[in-house]
């Protein structure tokens, strides 16, 4: 780096530190993002953007020291489990309310959520949000079509798989996944997609 670039970095660091320390505006820290978004800095060959990024980290540390209150993360397992269970209860109540007013739309969004996860397969095997969405869909699946004409006494004798419409959700999910794959394949290579349709 040249001397002028080093002087520029020091001036940015000092200016932003002064802004953080003496400004009463809540948006004082946001000015550092203008440097990070600057096209000239990003395209600089001498890694100026990396240096500005480190300046942003240092300025952010000073910003955190000035905050009067901060979010504290609990250190024991019991409190974390309590936070997780409270979060699950809150999400469940929101989805229950949505299922009252628009059951098909909520189920459709939950199915879309399961399809749009872009994590690795290893991550999907332990994805708590995906497991929670699946549990909610299965718990709040509508009544099976064949069971709508039966009385409550006859329905109580049936297992959940015969009372609930689980298969409809799985069928919808499978069809969406299949057609998303076909559309994705067509977008990548239109000629291959057309040839594949003729084979089928």
Q: Are residues 59 and 110 in the same domain?
A: no
**Does 77 reside within a domain?**
no
Q: Which residues are within 8 A (CB) of 59 and not within 5 positions of it... i.e. 6 or more apart?
A: 13, 16, 17, 20, 29, 32
Distance CA 188, CA 21 (A): 51
**Does 142 reside within a domain?**
yes
Q: Are residues 174 and 128 in the same domain?
A: yes
- Long-range CB pairs of 9-15 (<8 Å, 24+ gap) are 9/48, 9/51, 9/52, 9/55, 12/52, 12/55, 13/55, 13/58, 13/59
**Does 86 reside within a domain?**
no
Predicted confidence at residue 15, as pLDDT, reads 92
Q: Are residues 181 and 113 in the same domain?
A: yes
Residue 141: helix, strand or coil by DSSP?
coil
**Does 117 reside within a domain?**
yes
Q: Are residues 111 and 195 in the same domain?
A: yes
Predicted confidence at residue 192, as pLDDT, reads 55
**Does 84 reside within a domain?**
no
Predicted confidence at residue 158, as pLDDT, reads 61
Structure tokens at 56: 């942003």
Predicted confidence at residue 120, as pLDDT, reads 47
Q: What are phi and psi of 116, to 5 degrees?
A: -95, 5
Q: Are residues 131 and 180 in the same domain?
A: yes
**Does 35 reside within a domain?**
yes
Q: Are residues 39 and 122 in the same domain?
A: no
Domain boundary among 49, 66, 83: 66
Beta-bridge partner residues of 164 = 143
Provide the residue-wise pLDDT of the chain in tens; the chain has 200 residues. Answer: 788 888 988 999 999 999 988 888 878 888 888 888 888 888 887 888 888 899 999 998 888 888 777 777 777 888 888 888 898 899 888 888 888 888 778 877 877 777 766 544 555 566 777 777 777 777 766 665 655 555 566 556 666 656 666 676 667 767 777 777 777 767 776 555 555 555 55
Q: Are residues 12 and 55 in the same domain?
A: yes
**Does 93 reside within a domain?**
no
**Does 55 reside within a domain?**
yes
Predicted confidence at residue 14, as pLDDT, reads 93
Domains held by the chain: number: 2
* Segments forming the whole domain that contains residue 131: 100-199
Question: Are 117 and 130 within 8 A, CB to CB?
Answer: yes
- The DSSP letter of residue 76 is S
């Amino acid at each position: 780096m040249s001397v002028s670039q080093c002087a520029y970095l020091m001036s940015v660091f000092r200016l932003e530190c002064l802004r953080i320390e003496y400004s009463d505006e809540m948006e004082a820290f946001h000015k550092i993002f203008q440097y990070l978004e600057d096209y000239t800095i990003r395209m600089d060959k001498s890694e100026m953007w990396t240096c500005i990024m480190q300046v942003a980290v240092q300025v952010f540390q000073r910003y955190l020291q000035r905050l009067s209150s901060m979010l504290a993360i609990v250190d024991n397992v019991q409190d974390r489990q309590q936070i997780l269970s409270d979060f699950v209860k809150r999400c469940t109540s929101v989805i229950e309310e949505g299922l009252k007013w628009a059951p098909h739309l909520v189920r459709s969004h939950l199915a879309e959520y399961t399809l749009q996860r872009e994590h690795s397969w290893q991550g999907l095997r332990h994805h708590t949000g995906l497991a929670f969405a699946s549990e909610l869909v299965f718990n709040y699946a509508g009544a099976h079509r064949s069971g709508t004409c039966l009385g409550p006494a006859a329905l109580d004798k049936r297992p959940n798989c015969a009372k609930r419409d689980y298969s409809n959700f799985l069928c919808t999910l499978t069809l969406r996944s299949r057609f998303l794959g076909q559309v994705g394949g067509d977008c990548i290579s239109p000629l291959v997609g057309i040839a594949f349709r003729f084979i089928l």
